[in-house]
Amino acid sequence: MTTKTRVPAIEGWFTLDDKAPTLLGSKCTSCGNFAFPKETYFCRNPGCQGREFAEAPLSRTGKVWSYTDACYEPPKPYMAADPYVPFALAAVELADEQMVVMGQVVPGVGVGDLSVGTEVELVLDTLYEDDEHEYVVWKWRPTGAPTGRVA
Amino acid sequence: MPDDKRVAVLGAGMHPWGKWGRNFVEYGLAAAGDALHEADLPWTDIQYVAGADTIRNGYPGFVAGATFAQALGWTGARVSSAYAACASGAQAINNARAQILAGLCDVALVVGADTTPKGFFTPVGGDRTDDPDWLRFHLMGATNPTYFALYARRRMEIFGATEEDFAAVKVKNARHGLENPNARYRKEVTAAEVLASPMVADPLRLLEICATSDGGAALVLCSMEFARRHAGSQDLVTIDAVSTVTPRFPQAIIEMPNFSTDSSATAASVGPTFKQSVALAAYEEAGIGPEDVSLAEVYDLSSALELDWYEDIGLCKQGEAERMLRDGDTTLGGRVPVNPSGGLSCFGEAIPAQAIAQVCELVWQLRGQATGRQVEGARVGITANQGLFGHGSSVIVSK
């Protein structure tokens, strides 16, 4: 049993709610445009002059737009486990926000388990560890798929 | 096309692509020397130098225009240095063209060159937690092939492309590049060899993803008046359009190095996609259409991506690229050969030189000097590529 402290691999991009984590995007208070990661300066909608944004928890589920995997170890600053374990990635369409968000797919799920249109949900999982910390990140998991090593 | 809308290409030059491991300036100078020789002009006649920058060779790379000018010998020529990732070369070409069309100079030299490290391209060093290019590696392990593979898989599921189609692109380009003296890989490959090469990012295999290379390319551009005075009545090859457009909001296709697309919740994504708009702007500027094109040099960062470009530059409708490929339309001898140079498949990518090299190939093709890979009767060519974060790049060359 690990006693390491769980910390987000990046601050403010997602909640640390184990049961139902969400990505934290932004919503323009003028035009309603969503952005992930959060927009902080200027609305990306060229027809909007908005400069203020509300934090917006994004949909926890979506459908795979496309997917692939990383058969070779990505270079730094990716912190690969030793030995390296290949992983899948997916770009996922969120219906309400009408945007596509990328992320790794949970361990144990490969490209053979995925299709365009596969329904997935957001979970938290370990990205890497050091002596004191477990750094967690968002990942996609097919709804109803084996849980893999999900945190 | 009126003279005040186009520039003439007097000379083109390249240093062969490879993994030579020497200083990038050397490749740039070799290419510039060849372009000046073709143009039959001394360096001291050049009034403007447009450099395409490299970010992996220290400070001299960031100010490439001045680096090349100093190495050729200071003459007081005016200078610019441009970085736009894979589209850097198009930016440099456009800088020179704008100076000429504005009447600010008569003759300009465009140069780009690179020396590349081994393996995957990585972000520039340091912990930069506000840089999406750094963050996509750190948080997702998303390399460049990750994004190429997302598009490839999408093609398979939406349009029915197969792994055999992707392999066939590689086989075609490898054959095209066999006789190209500037190509790095000049070896025929079979579909079986491609399909037996290791998977890198499913469905893309090692032989289907472009390498990173050293190389250099250069062009001598001038006003039409200067060209007629200097080169006489011979057939002039001209640059009729340079498209450098950005995407339109909302950009609904995931693009390197982003984590997400724009949201289409408040404004529907209508009209052409970004890659379609890159070529459309070039056609509009040149006053021609895809039906006028004799050949194309497109950015085959992956074998699958070449198929996307067939559609995006208007050679066929969406979903018809595989049929075009299978019918041999894009093979040398076909209706509109694509990447007769061998493309990135045979070159690997020397980032700031690549968009310039695409134009060099078109120039030699239109002059009938592309020995061993000549597109017969070529009159109009188009290039297409795209730089990180949304730098469109498309050049139309005609004679």
Alpha helical stretches, state H, chain B: 24-39, 58-62, 64-72, 88-101, 132-135, 144-159, 163-176, 191-196, 224-231, 274-286, 303-312, 321-326, 343-347, 351-367
Q: For residue A134, is it within any domain?
A: yes
Give me the residue from A32, A67, A70 closest to B265, CB to CB. A32
Q: For residue A116, is it within any domain?
A: yes
Which of the residues B56, B120, B140 would you substitute to probe the A interface, choosing the one with the greatest number of A C-beta atoms within 10 Å?
B140
State the DSSP code for B281. H
Cβ atoms of B353 and B31 within 8 Å: the answer is yes
Among the listed ranges A142-151, B147-156, B338-347, which one has the minimum average pLDDT value?
A142-151
> Contact B149/A115, CB-based, under 8 Å?
no
Q: For residue A67, is it within any domain?
A: yes
Give the strands of the sheet with A24-28, arranged side by side.
Answer: A34-35, A24-28, A53-57
Q: How far apart are alpha carbons B82 and B365 in whole angstroms?
A: 27
- What does the pLDDT read at residue A146? 54
- Count the neighbouring beta carbons within 10 Å of the beta carbon of residue B125: 9
- Going residue by residue through chain A (151 aa), what tens digit of pLDDT does each one get? 558 999 999 999 999 998 999 999 999 999 999 999 999 999 999 999 999 999 999 999 999 999 999 999 999 999 999 999 999 999 999 999 999 999 999 999 999 999 999 999 999 999 999 999 999 999 999 997 655 444 3
A127: chain B residues, CB-CB within 8 Å: 139
CA distance A148 to chain B (A): 18
Percent of chain B with pLDDT over 90: 93
Q: For residue A94, is it within any domain?
A: yes
> Contact A102/B120, CB-based, under 8 Å?
no
- What does the pLDDT read at residue B389? 83
Q: How far apart are alpha carbons B91 and B110 in whole angstroms?
A: 10
Q: Is residue B50 over pLDDT 70? A: yes
A34: chain B residues, CB-CB within 8 Å: 263, 265
* Three-point CA angle B27, B62, B71, nearest 5°: 45
DSSP assignment of A42-79: S-S-TT-----EEEEEPPSEEEEEEEEEE-SPPPTTS-
User: Across all residues in chain B, what is the average pLDDT?
Assistant: 96
Q: How far apart are alpha carbons B65 and B53 in whole angstroms?
A: 8
Q: Is residue B127 over pLDDT 90? A: no
DSSP assignment of B181-229: TT-S------HHHHHHSPEEETTEEGGGBPPB-EEEEEEEEE-HHHHHH
pLDDT tens-place string over residues B298-312 = 999 999 999 999 999
Q: For residue A32, is it within any domain?
A: no
Please list, in sequence order, all residues whose beta carbon lies within 8 angstroms of the beta carbon of residue B230, skipping any fewer than 6 positions away.
Answer: B10, B39, B40, B41, B222
Q: For residue A84, is it within any domain?
A: yes
> Contact B139/A137, CB-based, under 8 Å?
yes
> Contact B137/A77, CB-based, under 8 Å?
yes
Which domain does A134 fall in, by range?
A: 59-142
Q: Which amino acid is at B56?
A: R
Give me the residue from B134, B201, B263 closest to A69, CB to CB. B201
Q: For residue A18, is it within any domain?
A: no
Question: What element of type H or E holds A94?
Answer: strand A87-94
pLDDT tens-place string over residues B69-114 = 999 999 999 999 999 999 999 999 999 999 999 999 999 999 999 9
- What does the pLDDT read at residue B378? 98
The DSSP bridge pattern shows strands B48-52 and B107-114 to be parallel
- What does the pLDDT read at residue B397? 98
pLDDT tens-place string over residues B350-359 = 999 999 999 9
Which of the residues A27, A92, A100 would you substitute to probe the B interface, choosing the one with the greatest number of B C-beta atoms within 10 Å?
A100
Q: Is residue B119 over pLDDT 70? A: yes
Q: How many domains does chain A have?
A: 1
Q: For residue A108, is it within any domain?
A: yes
